[in-house]
Amino acid sequence: MSNLENNNNGEKQPQKLPTIYDNPKIDLAALHARVDELAKRASYHKGLFIVMQGNEWLEQASKRPIPTMLFSEYWHEGELCILFADTNVGKSILAVQIADSISTGKAIPGFKLEAQAQPVVYFDFELFDKQFEARYSINYTHHYQFDKHFYRAEINPESEVPDHFDDFEEYLHFSLEKTIQETGAKVLVIDNLTYLKNETERAKDALPLMKQLKALKARYGLSILALAHTPKRDLCKPMTRNDLQGSKMLINFCDSSFCIGESQGDKSIRYLKQIKARATEIKYDTENVLLCRIEKPHNFLQFSTAGVSSEYEHLKTAEERDRDELVRRAKQLDDEGWTQRDIAEELGISAATVNRFLKEE
């Protein structure tokens, strides 16, 4: 097709091609403003950094929505939050309850939810389907009805890593992102971090993991709740960021964090404590932890609030810690074949006390 046309003298001359200025539907003022905005934005990029004046940062931030609560002061929309606790304290129970709340847009009694209902994917690397069913049914019947926006994902045991992936970990992250895309999820719950990276207690492994999660959060506008374990800790001391497995990097790179402690005086009591917050002041600290009980009034295993108190009321005393250590040591020596008389002499206690210790569960 020729780009030449005849003039009045029959001579060939270049054909005038249409431009955006010839289209009456184009808003030229808006187009120019957009070009100016992009040019200005590009000028802010200085290699790794975005550099703007303080007032420009404030102006940009003012256009973003104010963070809303997903789970009271503990977790806000748009945050990467870490929930950590010891094994069998109830992390997964609370996490499912939070996910269910967000998917329905209904707050858990005793907690605040300011965000609208939105799709949630719960990546469950802890329970298989029958265990999940047991928690949300009555003897495997009369199942709890989750909202259509609540999705649960678990590893397919029959899947194999395709050849074009370097390892299982890379395939796992690909599958996680694919799930986000196809469900339209805005909230992720990851139970737990260990499955995404086996060595989260080592800084060199924790850092790439947190970068990957933060990149996903930014790319899809997500809110992420990631569950993690605590290593063996001194039950006489309040819980701190140092009780999170891999705390050096995980805590530094998350937006917020809270933990679940178990009362040493009443094993039916759990307490929730804020460890890190950026969107709010810390309300639930050592002097003001929120108490809860794990209950199943019908077909839904859940946390129910039971007031507030000081964390110190729920810690072990030094005497209790020393006694536990004696019990542990007595049982260890018994397993090694020591007589009760020899154990008593070794530990400086009576043989009757050794006998009583060995009978304890």
Whether residues 54 and 91 share a domain: the answer is no
Whether residues 42 and 55 share a domain: the answer is yes
Give the CATH number of the domain where residue 236 resides: 3.40.50.300
pLDDT of residue 206: 63
| pTM for the model | 0.78
pLDDT of residue 17: 55
Nearest to 228 by CA among 80, 76, 79: 80
Which SS3 state, helix, strand or coil, does residue 352 take?
helix
Whether residues 20 and 111 share a domain: the answer is no
Whether residues 41 and 143 share a domain: the answer is no
Whether residues 188 and 333 share a domain: the answer is no
Q: What percent of the chain has pLDDT over 90?
A: 55
Asked which of 119-133, 195-209, 269-283 is least confident by mean pLDDT, the reply is 195-209
Mean pLDDT over each residue of the chain, to the nearest integer: 86
Whether residues 87 and 182 share a domain: the answer is yes
Whether residues 50 and 174 share a domain: the answer is no
Query: Structural domain tally of the chain?
Result: 3
pLDDT of residue 64: 80
Whether 36 has a pLDDT exceeding 60, the answer reads yes
Work out the pLDDT band at 32, boundaries 50, 70, 90: low
Domain of 102 in residue numbering reads as 69-314
Instruction: Give the type of residue at 262.
Output: E
Work out the pLDDT band at 203, boundaries 50, 70, 90: very low
pLDDT of residue 320: 80
**Distance between alpha carbon 258 and the CA centroid of its chain, in Å?**
10
Q: What percent of the chain has pLDDT over 70?
A: 84
Mean pLDDT of the 208-235 span: 89
pLDDT of residue 334: 92
The 10 Å CB-count burial string (b at 16+, else e) for 165-200 is eeeebebbbebbeeebeeeebbbbbbbbbbbbbeeb
Whether residues 110 and 130 share a domain: the answer is yes
Whether residues 166 and 191 share a domain: the answer is yes
Dist. CA 19–CA 354, nearest whole Å: 94
Work out the pLDDT band at 60, boundaries 50, 70, 90: confident
Whether residues 104 and 179 share a domain: the answer is yes
Rg (CA), the chain: 29
Whether residues 34 and 110 share a domain: the answer is no
Cα first-last separation, the chain = 91
Whether residues 225 and 239 share a domain: the answer is yes
Domain boundary residue, one of 62, 92, 107: 62
